[in-house]
Amino acid sequence: MYDMKALYEAGSVEEAIALRLAHPEAQIIAGGSDVLVQMREGKRAGKELISIYGIDALRGVTIDEEENIRIGSLTSFSHITKDPIIQRYCNVLGQAVDQVGSPQIRNIGTIGGNTCNGVTSADSASTLHAWEAIVELTGKNGVRRLPIHDFYIKAGTVDIRAEEGEIQTAILIPKASYENCYGHYIKYGLRNAMEIATLGCSVNVRLSPDKSTIERCRIAYGVAGPVPMRVPTAEAVANGAKPTEALVEAFGNAVIEDINPRDSWRASKAFRQHIAVEMAKRALRESIILAGGELA
C-alpha cells in the first residue's frame, strides 16, 4: 500500500537522535497526516521513515520552571484545543488548531508536524508567530532554541539540522508573550471543513490596566507570503494607541505595507490583499473586546 523502504521506531528522544544519525536519508514521521499522504502520492516513495509517534514524553502541555507554556511536539490538535493551560492563557491557539481539516486529522495531526512541514497555510503558524513562540530542537549536541520567525527558512524548509540528528521536541510560549494577552484567529477558506487556508490572520493585544490603551499588539498571517509572517507596520500603528474605530481602520490599511501574497488557483493576490485588510480589522476588534476593552 505504501512504498516504504524501512520503518524505524524510536521509543525516546535519544533513540530518535541515534536513528537519525544512523539513517541520514530517513524522514521523521509523527502523526503521518502529511507524510503518508505524500508517500501515497508517490512523492516520497521508497523512503526510510523514523517514527517518533511512540515518544510519550513529547506529548502534553505544561508550564515549565521559567513559566513558559511548553507544548510537546507530539501534542495533537484536539489535545491543544481542550487543554486547560491553553484555554486559560492562549485560547486563540486552541481555536486556531480546531479549524484544521476534520476531527480525524485533529486527533492524529501534531503541532510539531504542522510547523516542521514549513507550510505557510498551517493553521497553527500565524498564531505561533503572533505569540512569539520559541521552537525547541534536540540533537546530538543538546537542546537549541530559536524564535519561530527564524525557524522558517523558506517555503517548505525549516531549520532542523539532520546532520546533528535533530528533532523538534517542543514549542514554548514565553510568559512575557502570553501574560494578559487576548487574541483572535480568522481562517478564510473556500469552504468550512477539510480546507487549507486561503489566508489566515491572528491578532492579539494587551491593554493597559484601565483598558484605555493598547499596550502591545501583534499580528501575523499565513499565506500572505511564502512563510508565515508578522506585520510590523500595522503593529506600530496599534502600539500605544487608544482602541477606537479610527485606529482599527488605520491598522487594517497598514497591513498592505508588509504582506506579499501571491496569485494561486485558490485566490488572486488582489483578493488576498483585500481580505487581509478586513481580517485584520475584525481580528483586532475581537481581540480588544476579549481583553475587556471597548471601541470608542
List contacts with ligand FAD (CB under 6 A). Answer: 27-35, 37, 52, 73, 100-101, 105, 108-110, 112-114, 116-117, 122-123, 160, 167-168, 194, 196
Radius of gyration of the chain (CA): 19
To ligand FAD, the closest distance from the beta carbon of 197 in angstroms equals: 7
To ligand FAD, the closest distance from the beta carbon of 146 in angstroms equals: 14
Q: Please give the C-alpha separations between residue 60 and each of 120, 169, 191, 288, in angstroms, as whole numbers.
A: 24, 11, 31, 29
Whichever of 108 and 283 has its CB closer to ligand FAD, that residue is 108
Tell me the helix, strand and coil percentages in the chain, rounded to 5: 35, 25, 40
Whichever of 117 and 213 has its CB closer to ligand FAD, that residue is 117
CB within 8 Å of 190: residues ≥ 6 apart: 198, 266
Whichever of 34 and 132 has its CB closer to ligand FAD, that residue is 34
To ligand FAD, the closest distance from the beta carbon of 206 in angstroms equals: 26
Whichever of 101 and 225 has its CB closer to ligand FAD, that residue is 101
To ligand FAD, the closest distance from the beta carbon of 174 in angstroms equals: 20
Q: Which single residue is written with the C-alpha cell 495531526?
A: 109
Whichever of 64 and 67 has its CB closer to ligand FAD, that residue is 64
What is the DSSP code (8-state) at residue 209?
A: T
Q: What type of residue sits at position 198?
A: T
Whichever of 30 and 130 has its CB closer to ligand FAD, that residue is 30
To ligand FAD, the closest distance from the beta carbon of 121 in angstroms equals: 6
CB within 8 Å of 173: residues ≥ 6 apart: 68, 69, 71, 89, 90, 93, 128, 131, 132, 133, 134
Whichever of 122 and 247 has its CB closer to ligand FAD, that residue is 122
Which of 23, 9, 105, 100 has the alpha carbon at shortest distance from 53? 9
The residue of the chain with the least Cβ separation from ligand FAD equals 113
Q: Dihedrals φ, ψ of 9, to 5°?
A: -115, 125
Q: For residues 187 and 233, what is the distance between their CA atoms, to the nearest angstrom?
A: 21
To ligand FAD, the closest distance from the beta carbon of 177 in angstroms equals: 21
To ligand FAD, the closest distance from the beta carbon of 97 in angstroms equals: 8
